Structure 1
Amino acid sequence: MEARRGKPMIGTGKVLRRLNEMLDSALDGSFEEYHYDETELSKIETKWNRFLSSSSLARKNIEKEKANLQSLVSDISHQTKTPVANMKLYAELLEEGIARENPDREQMLFMAGEMKKQAERLEFLIQALTKMSRLETNLVVVQPEKQPVEPLIFQAVAQIRPKAEACEIDVKIQGNQKITACYDKKWSIEALYNLLDNAVKYSPRGSQVNLRVQEYSMYCEICVEDRGIGMTEEEIPKVFQRFYRGKQVQQKQGVGIGLYLVREIVKKQKGYVKIKSQPGQGSRISLFLPKD
């Protein structure tokens, strides 16, 4: 067998043996690339190693997505069980009340009101779960654009203001709203509204919520600060978990998805979220959106 100029040739038998070894080791997961040189066999080994690595990564991603889907289905089943059971219970009680000759009007109105509340809770939960699943499965395409943060702040505050006024909570805006950042308007409004909603929900009646805008060299900070119940240092990393609710807020309305959605939305825009809080002294939660 004649060698190419400058490159040694390898015997056909040795090449076939090595290829056979490569296939066997790939099947049992023990493949390792030999010392690299300029031979054609070595180049094949390098490509084979890259192929196995990418295949392994793809398999791990599929397994992760499968686990996430199983977890999501389990969470949906658990979270919807209570409102559905309550609606069925009140429906049965209403049927019994109607069947009586002299039904208690006030009691029936109460049960009808409770059914409406549970239906509204179920509707909110389904909407939140839909948003969450779309984000997790990358069905949502976030399209950040460089633009002033003023429309983002204006619309999020306009959405929360009726709820804040009902609780006699004043929402104050501070800082330069003309600052520009790179963000997706629709989903960023969703994220900022969730922060404002939490601030209003967990603040005492008659208090104040501050929204501050601050510019840095690489990021624009939009901070929501309340004077509510606050949280412990141990709780802070947990509040970003799906369906997590602290002990102090168990009696409040909510399902524990808001901050999870905030983090996922901001993360998809190359930004991040930061929390400072102490029990009884309120919370300060900041969105950091990239400027470019």
Structure 2
Amino acid sequence: MTAREELLIGAALLAVLAALVLAAWGRWRTRRVMLRLERMLEEAIRGTFTETSFDESLFSAVETQLAHYLAASAVSARNLQEEKNKIKSLIADISHQTKTPITNVLLYAQLLGEQDLPEESRALVTALEGQAEKLQSLIEALVKTSRLETGILELHPRPGLLGPMLEDAAAQFAPKTAAKELTLRVIAPEMRAVFDAKWTEEAVCNLLDNAVKYTPAGGSITLEAIAYELFCRIDVTDTGPGIPEAEQARVFQRFYRSAAAYEAEGVGIGLYLSRQIVQGQGGYLKVFSRPGYGAKFSMYLPRETNL
């Protein structure tokens, strides 16, 4: 082998060695940047991220931009929490400031109703009391909805029996169903689900209230629980006028009232609140209906915790 060939081979070996060194250094540098990015994201998730000084000669521009983004996100999160705290205070103030006046209006209306009044005045007192009760229900519903939407009010689903909760919900409507001569059946075989007992009962009561409201005298309402492998279904079925298909997707909107139901009591927030409660527990709420054949609202709740 000539000296020239040896020189060429040596140069090639040096080139290969240099390439390997550069590749190893590049991989090490990339790995260091990736580990740094991973650590930054972990700190952001924990809420402990703080921006530090970055040297472009040592860290990539992507890392620097991510640091700026996470810092801005942390500021946004703090601002959002401050806004939630303000909303929480506002809701508390509204609830507190309106509770006493409305209670007093109801009290005075009841006291007036006990007086010896002309028939036309008695009708006005009855209307006043009804409107005050409607206002009280509206404010309570708005407060509950706002607390759920802002995360102020938290749901705490736990494994439990559905039957007792459904029986309690149905019992609250015994006077109303008796007054309209409605038949209310409860079919609740022993089964368990994962749910917040207090708020799920509120959601069921909203569905029952709608069923009682729109079912004509002499009709029937069924409250039934059905178990499946992964979830439980709670049905509230009535023999009312039903809901047109075009309106079924809109009945869960806040304050939505059908043109055909303008004379019925309510402000159109019960179904919206029920859906918020069910979705907050990892479930969902659906409606099945045909005009003239009543309506069925189905609430699906998980049997295992999947939140």
TM-score normalised according to structure 1 size: 0.70
C-alpha distance in structure 2 between counterparts of 1:182 and 1:233, whole Å = 31
Task: Quote the offset at 1:120 in angstroms.
Answer: 1.1
In the other structure, the counterpart of 1:41 is: 59
Tell me the SS of whatever aligns to 2:160: strand
In the other structure, the counterpart of 1:201 is: 213
C-alpha distance in structure 2 between counterparts of 1:216 and 1:50, whole Å = 47
In the other structure, the counterpart of 1:214 is: 226
1:263-282 to structure 2, matched below 5 A, reads 263-282=275-294
Q: Which amino acid aligns with 1:200?
A: V
1:104-253 to structure 2, matched below 5 A, reads 105-176=118-189, 178-253=190-265
C-alpha distance in structure 2 between counterparts of 1:175 and 1:112, whole Å = 42
C-alpha distance in structure 1 between counterparts of 2:118 and 2:72, whole Å = 66
CA shift in 2, pair 1:115/1:151, >3 Å: same
Please identify the structure whose Cα radius of gyration is greater. Answer: 2
1:68-112 residue CA offsets vs partner (Å, 9 max, x unmatched): x8xxx9xx9xxx9xxx9xx9xxx9xx9xxxxxxxx9822222222
Task: Quote the offset at 1:157 in angstroms.
Answer: 0.5
Q: Which amino acid aligns with 1:41?
A: F
C-alpha distance in structure 1 between counterparts of 2:236 and 2:66, whole Å = 49
CA shift in 2, pair 1:217/1:107, >3 Å: same
Task: Quote the offset at 1:174 in angstroms.
Answer: 2.2
Task: Quote the offset at 1:132 in angstroms.
Answer: 1.0
Tell me the SS of whatever aligns to 1:111: helix
1:138-192 residue CA offsets vs partner (Å, 9 max, x unmatched): 111111110110121011111122111111111112252x110000000000000
Tell me the SS of whatever aligns to 2:232: strand
* RMSD over equivalenced CA pairs, Å: 3.3
5+ unaligned residues in a row in structure 1: which ranges? 9-38, 95-102
Task: Quote the offset at 1:56 in angstroms.
Answer: 6.2
C-alpha distance in structure 2 between counterparts of 1:182 and 1:205, whole Å = 35
Q: Which amino acid aligns with 2:157?
A: P
Q: Which amino acid aligns with 2:59?
A: L
Tell me the SS of whatever aligns to 1:120: helix
5+ unaligned residues in a row in structure 2: which ranges? 1-20, 27-56
Task: Quote the offset at 1:216 in angstroms.
Answer: 1.0
Identity of aligned residues (%): 39
Task: Quote the offset at 1:209 in angstroms.
Answer: 0.4
CA shift in 2, pair 1:49/1:291, >3 Å: same
Task: Quote the offset at 1:7 in angstroms.
Answer: 2.7
CA shift in 2, pair 1:46/1:187, >3 Å: same
Tell me the SS of whatever aligns to 2:301: strand
Whether the 8 Å CA contact 2:166–2:188 is kept in 1: the answer is no
Tell me the SS of whatever aligns to 2:59: helix
1:44-63 to structure 2, matched below 5 A, reads 45-46=62-63, 48-49=65-66, 52=69, 55=72
CA shift in 2, pair 1:41/1:199, >3 Å: same
In the other structure, the counterpart of 1:15 is: none
Tell me the SS of whatever aligns to 1:119: helix
Q: Which amino acid aligns with 2:63?
A: T
Task: Quote the offset at 1:117 in angstroms.
Answer: 1.3
TM-score normalised according to structure 2 size: 0.66
C-alpha distance in structure 1 between counterparts of 2:129 and 2:274, whole Å = 28
